[in-house]
Amino acid sequence: MEATTRAIRKFVIDNFLFGEDGDHLADNDSFMGRGIVDSTGILELVGFIQDAFAIVIEDHELIPQNLDSIASVARFVHTKKVSGLTAAP
């Protein structure tokens, strides 16, 4: 999960903070609370997660518990990948 967290952090810093202030962003910091993303930003994040981790995110999964921090995204990706493996024949 560490590699996942690192990849997500890099995406968020590169795309929403444009490479700056990364040291001040903790894994549990709320994107919403810090004003880091807007509604189109969330969709960019979703696009990145789908491409980078080869998972499909449903509309009902667009909730802050899954997407509002680096840590929550990493947990969500981990859960999706595990459930995908379990579901595979």
Partner 1 sequence: MKLIQLISKTISRCPDNVAVIQGAQGWTYGELGHQTLQVAARLSDAGVRMGDRAVIWLDNSASYIATYLAILECGAVIVAAHARSTALDVLKIIQDVEAKALITTEAAWSLNGEALEKSGLRSVLLPQETLSLRDGMPREMAPEELAQIVYTSGTTGSPKGVMLSHDNLVANTRSILASLKIQASDAVAAVLPFVFVYGNSVMLTHLAAGAKIVIADSLLYPMMTVDSMRMENVTGFSGVASNYAFLLRHTDFDSAHLPALRYFTSAGGPMPAELLKKVRGAFPRSEFHVMYGQTEATARITMLPPGDLERYSASAGLPVAGVTVEILRTDGERALPRETGEITIMGPSVMLGYWRDAAASAKVLKDGRLYTGDLGYMDERGYLYITGRNSEMIKSGAFRVSPSEIEEVLFQHPDVYEAGVIGTEDELLGEMLVAAVVPKPDRQISMKAVLAHCARRLPPYKRPKAIHLVKELPKSENGKVLRQKLRGLVKSLRENRQRDEQLTARPARFSPHS
Site of interaction with partner 1 (CB under 8 A):
14, 16-20, 32-44, 46-48, 50-51, 59-60, 62-64, 67
Closer residue to partner 1 (CB): 19 or 89: 19
Least Cβ distance, residue 74 to partner 1 (angstroms): 18
Least Cβ distance, residue 84 to partner 1 (angstroms): 20
Closer residue to partner 1 (CB): 2 or 51: 51
Least Cβ distance, residue 39 to partner 1 (angstroms): 5
The DSSP string of the chain is -HHHHHHHHHHHHHHTSTT-SGGG--TT--TTTTT---HHHHHHHHHHHHHHHT----GGG-SHHHHSSHHHHHHHHHHHHHHHHHH--
